[in-house]
A and B are shown apart, each in its own frame.
Chain A
Amino acid sequence: MVSALGRKLGRDLWRLRAQVLTIALVVACGVASLFSMRSAYDSVRGERDRWYGSARFPEVFASVRRAPRSLASRIASLPGVSLAEARIVEEVTLDMPGMAEPVGAHAVSLPPGRRALLGEVFLREGRLPASGRSDEVLVHEAFARAWALRPGDALVAVLHGRRQRFRVSGVALAPEFVSVMQPGALVPDDRRYGVLWVPEDALAAAFQMEGAFNDVGVRLDRGAREAAVIAALDALLAPYGTTGAYGRSRHPSARMVDQKLTQLRGQATVTPMMFLGVAALLVNMVLARLLGLEREQIATLKALGYGDGAILRHYLAHALLTAVLGAALGVALGTVAGRGLVALYKDYFRFPALTFRPSAETLAYGVLASVGAAVAGAFGAVRAAVRVPPAEAMRPEPPPRFRPSWLERMGVHRMLPTVARMVLRELERRPGRAALSALGIAFAAAIIVAGRSSLDSLDVVLAVQFGRAQSDDVTVSFARPVAQRARFDVARLPGVLFAEPQRMAGVRLRHGVRVRDAAILGVPAGAVLRAVVDARSVRWEPPAEGLLLGRALGDRLGVRPGDTVTVEDVEGATAPREVAVAGLVDDLLGLNAYMRLDALDRLRGDGGRVTAVAVRLDPALAERFLARVKRLPGVASTSRRMAVIDFFRHETSRMSATLTLVLAAFAGIIAVGVVYNNARIALAVRSRELATLRVLGFTEAEVATVLFGEQAVVLALAIPVGLALGKGLAWMVFQGVDAELYRLPVVVSTATYGLAAGTVLAASVASAWVVRRRIGALDMVAVLKARD
């Protein structure tokens, strides 16, 4: 048996269905974003923790130039170390069919005849290389997918200048390669960079590393201090040219995963809060309106003996049912969105079994958050209405009191037509509501701006890094520093119009007690193909002596121009030197320092080495050039600037379309929710005024001006605020980005601003248009019959 109040509730909701639905949709967006992002966060995090544990992913890592195998057992017996795995890791190139340039690959040794102690690979397909077969390799799943490689396929690799044929025995994953990115790349390009596991003897033979290792991973005892182990490891490895041990927080792949998780957690908090905040506002507005209409009914109910509690529950139930409807929609939508999100992450993060696994806890959290928002929105309005004594409630609400607005008191009113004054005074009578509505609409615009600004920023990074800093056609990088002669070897290849050497040196910089590992890029004076350029595309010329530091690096070292830093060779080949800092450059990627090539050579004191050669090519001969580079010894990678740009554009445009659609839908739903409900309420509250205007001979369009004037003003205020708010949000989001990886300049393109303003405007105009049609139906006769 449904109670009388229950039936009233049902009818109210049905009558207000359009408003209930628009609010439920806002709630749904909040719950969907919360549910999908939190679930995706939990899924990635859970899978990460599970796999890091089960595959025994090391906790501390170190590289050396070359250390004897015997050292491995000494590492394992260091205090705090439970297990250590020593390996050989080399950069090699692959000669892939149909690809002109050599493809870079990271080759990791597989221990002979046993499973790896640490960071064990997960076989997706095939098997490990058979023992005794030094020509079998495993390839990483990302690379295998990109090239459609299957067990049994052949693969030609160039190891230390020697071409070797291998056979793929299996496709694998490893916890250290969840994210596979070439150092310096903006986005992973699985066709141009991959991971390969090669039997240890084959790799050792190719690189003359028999009985030696150059990479070690360490797993800690329970309760051991990471910093202590790092220090001990550094001391032990110092004689072997270590670049310094580091924990997972600096491991390239682990760091990318953690970075994404941090970002996701931030978004999973901020986005739902915006939606649910707007939902609370809408619930409050609509309920306050309903309660205003039902003043006398409430008084009657009280007179009939219903208690305050029963009435309170009746109206709270309106809000709750709206919230529950929204939450149900949201969970359904969130499940779809969450699956999509996880599917998207699967392209960037390679886990054995990453699946969308929403927890009951997240579900409960989403439902609770939506109910909380609804109750927060409803409670104030309902309590105030229920508290009015019945005798007072029986009388109609006192007429609103108006005053000349403060704008008018300043004398503005003389310039305003009468209708504009009505609009202004309505606004000023409820400035709080107008401000909250504006904030709601501002959120809608902000969501688009903040959401798309990351793409805009990446565009700027791309333009600066690959448009201004670099103007080469191809850069050939060597696996290790090579004699300057290499520059001429490259320059002599067919098609080379101009070749320019570069040198990248791994260093440890000290300033007082602060230490940072960084890379110094050395470029020739007046370099053409690789310049030092800051975020504003301003070119910096490294001084004849001394260093330019990237500002991120300089800040971390507490260095200012004119200070001196101590430069240590991480490989320990040369003694530490004091070098003056000539300036700080706002560069965008990594922790870098810049020097003139000759100054860097002098610093190193090795008579000059190069690590890369940038070339400008005759386009007609590019293919021949690349074919020859494939056979050049010591080449680690070859990057074609245009290919990088094209690939980046391709990747981001794919993402950008989906993202833009989702953001526009989000913004549209908020804008519709706010504008539609405001307009419906205004129409209901002011129907008498509006009908009277019609009686007085105002056209429908003129009445629409009165009705929507307020919304137009709110919108006009909200859009610029929203655009600014969006930029602020983007700034906040970027604060969460690991600044040592990259520093995204907070940029918002005109297109993004236009999209944000346009979407909000379109959604608002559409909502207004739907309500506008009701003006024609205003009953002029009825409105004259009765008092308010």
Chain B
Amino acid sequence: MSDAGVIAKVPVLDVRGLTRRYLLGDVAIDALRGVDLALAEGEFVVLLGPSGSGKSTLLNIVGGLDAPDGGEVRYRGAPLDFDDARALTAYRRDHVGFVFQFYNLMPSLTARENVALVTDIAEDPMEPEEALALVGLGARLDHFPSQLSGGEQQRVAIARAVARRPDVLLCDEPTGALDCATGRVVLDVLARVNRELGSTTAVITHNAVIAGMADRVIRFVDGRVVGDARNEVPVPVSELRW
């Protein structure tokens, strides 16, 4: 995957002292308790951690969907202004691709159109057909989500996320709702996208086996980063077993 040398450059995403607290009545839950993290150009990172450790919270803030209570997020050196909803929208639109556990496709649009939804508003996007070919769905262009399997729907979601050639691809449990074989296909697609487009990719998973394919594995416990390890020799997806 990527060279170790590029890490010296300005990181794509730079997270400093990030905190996020949820208030549920009188109870305060600290979902993030000061997270520092830098993602380099083209890295494939896996985020591991027990349920409730703050992985999704971090990804949502980094993707501009949620605002932190403290700390900052820099995108290519420029801090994100979380008070400026328009700027956040533009950030998501121009730089970020999301893949979710439950696909979140538009039921009224075909595979091709779900991708077109994003390419319509992006600058210099791929053709929807090209993006769908990239995820191996070149033959199912005109099927509606209800006519596709879960794995196929997830691949449409990935095609939708990558079609605008995002700098950052954020995936929250992309294989969570899929069986093992289908999950492998989806992961393979993510790896290919990371390789071919060079998008910096962050994948949240509960499945430690998946960590084997990453350049880097970050472990979360209780709102803090507790481990940050580099995989010198990532395992190809086809060799992952679970």
Contact = CB atoms under 8 A, between A and B. Distances in A.
Nearest to A706: B106
Interface string B46-72: 000000000010001001011000000
A697 B102 contact: no
Nearest to A785: B56
Contacts of B196: none
A418 B117 contact: yes
Nearest to B116: A418
A429 B121 CA distance: 26
Interface string A421-443: 11001100100000000000000
B92 interface: yes
B104 A783 contact: yes
Interface residues of A, number: 34
A304 interface: no
A696 B66 contact: no
B10 interface: no
A166 B123 CA distance: 94
B172 interface: yes
B107 interface: yes
Contacts of A402: 107-109, 144, 146
A206 B96 CA distance: 102
A418 B117 CA distance: 6
B160 interface: yes
B82 to A, nearest CB: 13
Contact of B89 (A422, A694, A786): A694
A688 B145 CA distance: 15
Interface in B80-99: 85-86, 89-90, 92-94, 96, 98
B15 interface: no
Contacts of A787: 102
Contacts of B145: 399
B160 A696 contact: yes
B68 to A, nearest CB: 13
B106 A784 contact: no
Contact of A784 (B89, B108, B110, B172): B172
B228 interface: no
Contacts of A418: 109, 113, 116-117, 120
Given A402-B108, A402-B144, A418-B116, A699 B86 contact: yes
Contact of A781 (B60, B120, B144): B60
Contacts of B102: 784, 786-787
A418 B121 CA distance: 10
Given A776-B85, A784-B172, A786-B102, A419 B117 contact: yes
B100 interface: yes
A702 B146 contact: no
Contacts of A694: 89
Interface string A667-695: 00000000000000000000011001111
Contact of A697 (B60, B94, B100, B116): B94
Nearest to B118: A696
A425 B100 contact: no
B144 A696 contact: no
Given A399-B146, A697-B89, A781 B108 contact: no
Contacts of B60: 780-781, 784
B104 A692 contact: yes
Interface in B139-164: 144-146, 160
Nearest to B166: A697
Interface string B111-130: 00100111011000000000
B116 A426 contact: no
Best-buried of B85, B96, B108, B110 by chain A (most CB within 10 Å) = B108
Interface in A368-427: 399-404, 417-419, 421-422, 425-426
A425 B90 contact: no
Nearest to B93: A697
Most buried by A among B106, B121, B172: B106
Contact of A695 (B65, B101, B144): B65
A692 B106 contact: yes
Contacts of A426: 108
Contacts of B65: 695, 780-781, 784
A430 to B, nearest CB: 12
A698 interface: yes
Given A399-B107, A418-B117, A784-B100, 19 more contacts: A400-B107, A400-B108, A402-B146, A418-B120, A421-B108, A421-B109, A421-B113, A422-B106, A422-B108, A426-B108, A429-B108, A695-B92, A696-B93, A696-B117, A697-B92, A697-B94, A699-B89, A780-B60, A780-B66
28 contacts: A400-B108, A401-B146, A402-B108, A402-B109, A402-B146, A404-B110, A417-B120, A418-B116, A418-B117, A425-B109, A429-B108, A689-B107, A694-B89, A695-B63, A696-B117, A696-B118, A696-B160, A697-B92, A697-B94, A697-B118, A697-B121, A702-B121, A781-B65, A783-B104, A784-B98, A784-B100, A784-B102, A784-B104
Interface of B: 56, 60, 63, 65-66, 85-86, 89-90, 92-94, 96, 98, 100-102, 104, 106-110, 113, 116-118, 120-121, 144-146, 160, 172
Closest 5 pairs between A and B when the two form their complex, measured CB to CB:
A697-B93, A697-B92, A425-B108, A692-B104, A402-B108
